[in-house]
Structure 1
Amino acid sequence: MKKLSKKTLNHSFLNWFYGHLTCFSQEHMQTFGYMTAMLPIIQELYDTNEEQTEKTLTYSTFFNTEPQVGSIVVGITAGMEEARANGEPVDDETINGIRAGLMGPLAGIGDSLVVGTLLPILLGIALGLSGGGSPLGAVFYILAWNIGMFLIMRFMYFKGYELGGKAVEILVGEKANAIRDSIIMLGTMVIGGVTASWINITTSFQMLGSDGSVIVDLQKTLNDVYPSILSAVFVLICWYLLSKKRLSPVVVMLILVAVAFVGVLLGFFDPRLAY
Structure 2
Amino acid sequence: GWLPKWGYGTVETNIMTGDPVTPFLTNAYQQGLLKGYEERAYKALRKNADGVPPAGSPAVGREANEEYIADGFAPYVKGRPHAKPGDSDYDHGASATLEYALSDAMLAQMARDLGHHADAVRYAARAQNYRRVFDASTGFFRARDASGAFTGPADPAQSEGFHEGTSWQYQWLVPQDLPGMVDMIGGKQAANDRLDSFFAYADLLKDPAKTARETWVNGPYAYYNADKYNPQNEPDLIAPYTYLSTGQPWKTTDVVHAALTLFTDGPTGMTGNDDLGTMSA
TM-score of the alignment, normalized to the shorter chain, above 0.5:
no
Which category describes the TM-score, using the shorter chain as reference length?
A: under 0.3
Larger % of helix: which? 1
More RCO (CA 8 Å, sep 6+): 1
Normalising by structure 2, what TM-score? 0.24
The structure with more radius of gyration: 1
Normalising by structure 1, what TM-score? 0.24
